[in-house]
């Protein structure tokens, strides 16, 4: 057990996040999403929804500050409505980042296409439809190694 980490973060997901570099993407998806179809590594966060998954991920991974929208969301097909789950995901990302986060909306099939380039797909138990998001990894502004 490691202290200071969100307990939702599995060893597999931590490994995948640590392997990512600036600009790499992590896709957080609901239970309806075909996670394995993208051909990317899949990390399972069973029992939690998309907002909790995004909060856990953003607790250890900075979001990109060099792009206008480091968070992308799948659009609802044929409906301009924005799902309530997205407001919760944005709130989780903003709380972790301490700043406003702009959302880029992506058409469903364009979302699937973009997900094929992700570093990892995070499959959640999110039951609400269209609870699918792409997070772009940023940089840690500074790091001073501890002195021995």
Q: What does the chain come to in residues?
A: 148
Domain count, the chain: 1
pTM: 0.93
Does residue 3 lie within any of the structural domains? no
For residue 62, the domain's CATH number is 3.40.1650.10
Does residue 17 lie within any of the structural domains? no
Q: Cα(91)–Cα(100) distance, rounded to whole angstroms? A: 9
pLDDT attached to residue 126: 98
Q: Cα(34)–Cα(141) distance, rounded to whole angstroms? A: 35
Q: Domain limits at 113?
A: 36-136
Give the pLDDT of the chain (148 residues) as one tens digit per residue.
Answer: 678 899 999 999 999 999 999 999 999 999 999 999 989 999 999 999 999 999 999 999 999 999 999 999 999 999 988 999 999 999 999 999 999 999 999 999 999 999 999 999 999 999 999 999 999 999 987 666 777 7
> From the candidates 19, 22, 99, 116, which is the catalytic residue?
22
Does residue 75 lie within any of the structural domains? yes
Does residue 70 lie within any of the structural domains? yes
Q: Cα(31)–Cα(131) distance, rounded to whole angstroms? A: 9
- Find the helix or strand (DSSP H, E) in which 94 lies: helix 84-97
Does residue 1 lie within any of the structural domains? no
Does residue 98 lie within any of the structural domains? yes
Question: 44 an active-site residue?
Answer: no
Q: Cα(75)–Cα(83) distance, rounded to whole angstroms? A: 9
């Amino acid at each position: 057990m490691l202290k200071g980490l969100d307990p939702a973060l599995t060893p597999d997901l931590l490994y995948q996040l640590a392997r990512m570099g600036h600009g790499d993407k992590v896709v957080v998806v609901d239970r309806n999403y075909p996670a394995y179809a993208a051909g990317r590594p899949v990390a399972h966060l069973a029992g939690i929804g998309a907002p909790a998954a995004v909060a856990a991920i953003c607790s250890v991974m900075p979001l990109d500050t060099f792009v206008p929208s480091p968070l992308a969301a799948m659009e609802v097909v044929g409906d301009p409505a924005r799902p309530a789950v997205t407001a919760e995901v944005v709130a989780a990302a903003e709380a972790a980042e301490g700043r406003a986060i702009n959302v880029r909306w992506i058409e469903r099939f364009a979302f699937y296409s973009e997900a094929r380039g992700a570093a990892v797909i995070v499959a959640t138990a999110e039951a609400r439809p269209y609870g699918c998001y792409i997070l772009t990894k940023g940089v840690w502004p500074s790091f001073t190694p501890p002195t021995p």
